[in-house]
A and B are shown apart, each in its own frame.
Chain A
Amino acid sequence: MLRYVLRRLTLLIGIVWVISVGSFYLIHLLPGDPATVILGTGASPANRAILYRQLGLNKPIIEQYFVWMGNILHGNLGTSFISETSVASTIRTALPIDVELIVLSQILAFAAAIPLAMRSARKPNGVLDRILSAGSFTLLSIPSFIIIVLLVLVVSIKLGIANTGPSSYVSLGSDWVVNLESLALPAFTLAVGSFVIYFRVLRSDLIATLQEEFITMARSKGLRQRRIMWRHAFRPSSVALLGAAGVNIGGLLAGGFVVEYLLGIPGLGYTLITGIASSDYLLVQGIVLVVSVGVVLINFVFDFIISVVDPRITRE
């Protein structure tokens, strides 16, 4: 167990290091002088001088990297030349919104996917299973940006339900009811995409698990269906589910910007897009770095959970 965790941890550090190099090097991959990319063509020589000092651009590239890395390890992601605020503090305000959104959507997705997958798996190819499988397959083909647009069209425009449309976001601290209302549609949208994945993965795994001999043995002990489902079938079937959840939640962190952007919810994704629109290079770099590391960390955490849930994994 410990060895397994250590091995994964080494891999994690390696990947994070490569991500840091990638984010750092991004600017040099782009055509033109880094200062021009960051400040735009109309920058004053004074600003250029400040930037050069801040990033150490006149030093050799290896040294630049260490300067940059050192800053990051101190929590300093630089100061945006556009908004003149610290990138780190911008991210600190935006990140909790994503976390709230993801948590809400995942609660919804799991609450729907787990019981429905169990019902479906109980009678594979039964009426309910066919309907749910076909339905989830159709949902699989509807991109989240279409779902959110249609939801806004129906719920906030046609039905006129307050606080659900664009730019109605209020922070959790100031009014939690309005906050939840404003996050309802985006959370639901993200939940739909997650539900489809979780339902399909768990259903097929449950069907396979229910064929196992130990399920027959559990039946022969006189246990009720519900208990067999939850205690005996669910846990060995949840490994793939957890793996999918890890990848999916990482994907939501990276790809949730679509719903945020449409509804003007100032999470990381929205901030990233506005940063791109205003060519705020340092902000974009900071968010790319934070999101990438976040995705890797989420995967690591889920790998760990899987190894706890299924003792077979660490003993390979």
Chain B
Amino acid sequence: MSTQLLVVDDLHTTFRTAAGLVAAVGGVSFDLATNETVGIVGESGSGKTVLARTIMGLQPRSNVEVRGSVLLDGHQVVGASEREMRERWATDVSMVFQDPMTSLNPVMRIGRQIDETLRVRLGMDKRAARARAIELLAMVGMPSAEHRYRAYPTQLSGGMRQRVVIATALACSPKLLIADEPTTGLDVTIQAQILNLLDDLKEQLHMSVILITHDLGVVATRTSRIIVMYAGRIVEMGATRDVFFRHRMPYTRALLESSPKVSNPSHTRLRVIPGRPPNLSTLTSGCAFAPRCSSASERCHQERPSLEPAEEPGHVFACWHPLAATELHEAPR
């Protein structure tokens, strides 16, 4: 591994709401090397999106408290002002948003939305920015890019819009790209196209990528490491292979069993994780997954397990009753 591009240390993001404090991210630490792709997985509500936005310094300014440290390319993000972050967004770090239906301005031509970044951030003139924007559109696989430059988002399909969002995020060649559920709203066939595209671009542009998803199938072949999040905390983290085949945390297994696999015969019933993700404003001192866990004991409800190393290097998990280490779990797709 080369130098660390991103070092996240004991990061907390807490929202002050009428319903009390909500610890959306509760003490997350991990790092990311240059040109590495890491996947963050978890159900919706597990704090993935908040984590991503905190790493970017993009959360709303009021009623939110951030503690800990996010070193991005050697510079601290936590506590940086919007003005300081403005200098780093798009060039150091940028984000592919979840829903291409809402993340593009509906009344602006898509070309303008791409080239305004180029003009504002890179100081390109109108003509150069336009040429570059068309180039970017072509790069993300937009057919007849020159023509589409003048299209409005409503004139494009969901997949095409997501390509526009990606082109915008890549416009200033960021060092880190955070893709927040980039394929959730898209058809299955389009999903694969978009993910492959991100993969190719990562190699081409030497980026690091954080790929956030609730679908383990999405990250299986495209990441070097996987972080599993539950209720705002990391519950298991390790090399992709290890997480898939030697996971120790029951939640990870539950997630794996709830995602469809090609190897299964069609119409196989998916296992559903019983219960619902916990309410983050009423977390207890115990393991947050305990109420839904079949092997939970009294201790799980009282005391929260911390991350402990597994046998494999870099593999950690937080569980009082881990699954047997030797057990080779069912192969993913």
Interface residues of A (CB under 8 A from B): 212-214, 216-225, 227, 231-232, 235-236, 309-312, 315
Contacts and interface: CB of A to CB of B under 8 A. Distances in A.
Contacts of A225: 82
B108 A217 contact: no
Nearest to B95: A220
B207 to A, nearest CB: 15
A223 B120 contact: yes
Interface stretch (B83-91, B137-145, B302-310): B83-91
A219 B106 contact: no
Contact of B89 (A221, A310, A315): A221
A220 B106 contact: no
B165 A217 contact: yes
B13 to A, nearest CB: 15
Contacts of A218: 105
Which of A212, A217, A309 has the largest count of B CB atoms less than 10 A from its CB?
A217
B154 A236 contact: no
Contacts of B121: 221-222
A309 B105 CA distance: 13
- Does more than half of chain B's interface fall in helix, strand or loop, or is it mixed? loop
B86 to A, nearest CB: 5
B94 A221 contact: yes
B107 interface: yes
6 contacts: A213-B103, A219-B82, A221-B90, A221-B168, A223-B120, A231-B108
B99 interface: yes
A76 to B, nearest CB: 45
B94 A220 contact: yes
B209 to A, nearest CB: 16
A10 B9 CA distance: 65
A305 to B, nearest CB: 13
A216 B91 contact: no
B56 interface: yes
B117 A222 contact: yes
Interface string B270-292: 00000000000000000000000
Contacts of A310: 106-107
A222 B94 CA distance: 9
A218 to B, nearest CB: 7
Interface string B82-126: 100111111100110111001111111000000011001100000
B51 to A, nearest CB: 15
Contacts of B255: none
Contact of A309 (B97, B99, B107, B117): B107
Given A222-B120, A232-B105, A235-B107, A217 B87 contact: no
Contacts of B152: 311
B56 A221 contact: no
Contacts of B116: 221, 223, 227, 231
Interface in B126-164: 152, 154
B127 to A, nearest CB: 19
Given A217-B165, A217-B168, A222 B86 contact: yes
Contact of A216 (B58, B82, B106): B58
A217 B168 CA distance: 9
A23 to B, nearest CB: 39
Nearest to B106: A312
Contacts of A231: 108, 116
Contact of B102 (A213, A222, A309, A315): A213
B86 A224 contact: yes
A232 B108 contact: yes
A223 B121 CA distance: 8
B58 A312 contact: no
The 5 closest A-B pairs by CB, nearest first: A222-B89, A213-B102, A222-B90, A221-B117, A213-B103
Which of A220, A225, A235, A236 has the largest count of B CB atoms less than 10 A from its CB?
A220
Nearest to B118: A221
Contacts of B105: 214, 218, 232, 236
A215 to B, nearest CB: 8
A231 B120 CA distance: 13
Contacts of A220: 56, 58, 89-90, 94-95, 169
Contacts of A222: 85-91, 117, 120-121, 172
B274 to A, nearest CB: 32
Nearest to B59: A216
Which of A225, A227, A311 has the largest count of B CB atoms less than 10 A from its CB?
A311
B104 A217 contact: yes
A44 B106 CA distance: 67
Interface string B43-71: 00000000000001010000000000000
Nearest to B53: A216
Contacts of B154: 311-312, 315
Contacts of A213: 97-99, 102-103
A11 B102 CA distance: 33
B63 to A, nearest CB: 11
A217 B114 CA distance: 11
B177 to A, nearest CB: 11
A315 B89 CA distance: 34
A223 B58 CA distance: 13
Nearest to B58: A220
Nearest to A209: B105
Contacts of B87: 222
Given A220-B89, A221-B94, A231-B116, 4 more contacts: A213-B103, A219-B58, A220-B95, A236-B107
A311 B107 CA distance: 6
A225 B83 CA distance: 10
Contacts of B107: 235-236, 309-312
